[in-house]
Amino acid sequence: MKTYDYIIVGAGIAGCSTAYFLSKYTDSILLIDRNSDLAQGASGAAGAFLSPLLGKPNKFKDLVTKALNFSTDFYLNNIPKEITNCGVVRIPKNKEDAQKFETYKPYMDFPYEKMEDGYYFKIGSQVNSYNICSYLADKVEKLFDYEVLTTEQNSDFWIINGELKAKNLILTTGADISLIKEKYFNIRAVWGQKIDIYTSTQTTKNYHKECSVSHSTYIKKKNKYLVSIGATHHRINEDLHISNNCLDLKNRVFFTEERIKENTNRLLTLADDIIKLEDIEVCDVKIGPRASSVDYFPMVGKLIDSQTTIKQYPHLVNGSHVKDAMLSTYDNLYVLNGVGGRGFVLSSYLASSLVENIVNNSSLDNQITTHRMFKRWVKKSK
């Protein structure tokens, strides 16, 4: 049975980012995915836009701002060919939205200017999702087409399917949380469809209104430009165990061919409300389930062992308070999840923070740890 310092389950942007930062400390890493390649779930279906969060000051906005600065610098400094820092025009959806924009102006975290029907932010970027993941996971061992069915803690190790052994196990499985048996760990799947089109229209920047429209890339053999448009939002109960990328969905219920066509037409209509795209030819459709927590903050760090914790502190179910450090956690088991539709903004920052927490015992912001979810859940579990 081969032993690794770290096994990471899930090879999307969260898992690949975690693998990258861990590789600074060890080469004993195995990155596992049940699909045949990297970024085959929500990460592969992402528009991969990096854009500021607008609004009045709040803790989630602060997190996104910090992560956007981190991720933009990280991509530009390490993978400059895979990021296009052309800016984004944020356009209000209606008069009410425009009024909100006006109230946000004193609280903008990034420079902006009035442009077209909205506001232009130079910080706005788009990355190549697959190539980013490939770069991040390049130096680590990978195992594809491998379904993790069981994880068992045995002494100081985690045993995967009775075949693989890890000193530390990190779950970055996105919307499918079937490996996490804790009821407080509440992740919702928000399914999105993104389309790529060929068009004779050139776009020099990204746009966001009710959907996002990317800058264009000239494709010589087509004598047209490639543009991405996305994404839809559907809270549905599709089967998360099937391949969830592109049109390879099997046994699908919601994403029938008819619904895919309907979503495609809706995206084209929304894009047309932003910029007129001529001679359109849809060339690719991707679908994936984004993983969102109930309070929108990500879930990072050790998992709370609810059974052991409640046994130690039964008064928790009556609403009593216990310091986070006193809550029992599973030894050497970590998660990075709940990045929602901002995976390529949040993941590098969160992965770096998680790795420093694991390796150097640095603290994690209590806004992103699993402790908050456990404490809310346990008060309602009486």
Do 103 and 46 meet the contact criterion of CB atoms below 8 Å apart? no
Q: What's the rounded Cα separation, in Å, for the pair 266 and 270? A: 6
Nearest to 125 by CA among 212, 38, 24, 22: 212
Q: Does the structure show a pLDDT above 90 at 238? A: no
The model's pLDDT over 112-169, given as tens digits with 9 standing for 90+, comes to 999 999 999 999 999 999 999 999 999 999 999 999 999 999 989 999 999 999 999 9
3-state secondary structure 62-81: HHHHHHHHHHHHHHHHHCHH
pLDDT at 251: 47
Residue position matching structure tokens 């050139």: 202
Distance of CA 77 to CAs 72, 73, 110, 267, 345, Å?
A: 8, 6, 20, 33, 15
pLDDT at 319: 82
Q: What's the rounded Cα separation, in Å, for the pair 306 and 377? A: 10
- At residue 31 the predicted structure's pLDDT band, cuts being 50, 70 and 90, is very high
First to last CA, the chain: 42
Nearest to 218 by CA among 198, 232, 233, 236: 198
Report, in this order, helix, strand and coil percent for the chain, each rounded to 5: 30, 30, 40
3-state secondary structure 85-143: CCCEEECCCCHHHHHHHHHHHHHCCCCEEEECCEEEECCCEEECHHHHHHHHCCCCEEE
Superfamily of domain 2-42+132-186+294-379: FAD/NAD(P)-binding domain (3.50.50.60)
Non-local (6+) Cβ contacts of 247 within 8 A are 260, 285, 287
The model's pLDDT over 162-208, given as tens digits with 9 standing for 90+, comes to 999 999 999 999 999 999 999 999 999 998 899 999 999 999 999 99
Q: For residue 251, with 0-12 CB atoms within 10 Å meaning exposed, 13-18 middle and 19 or more buried, which class applies?
A: exposed
Positive or negative, the CA dihedral 272, 275, 281, 284 is negative
Across 63-91, average pLDDT:
98
Q: Does the structure show a pLDDT above 90 at 38? A: yes
Q: What's the rounded Cα separation, in Å, for the pair 363 and 366? A: 9
Nearest to 217 by CA among 239, 236, 234, 201: 201
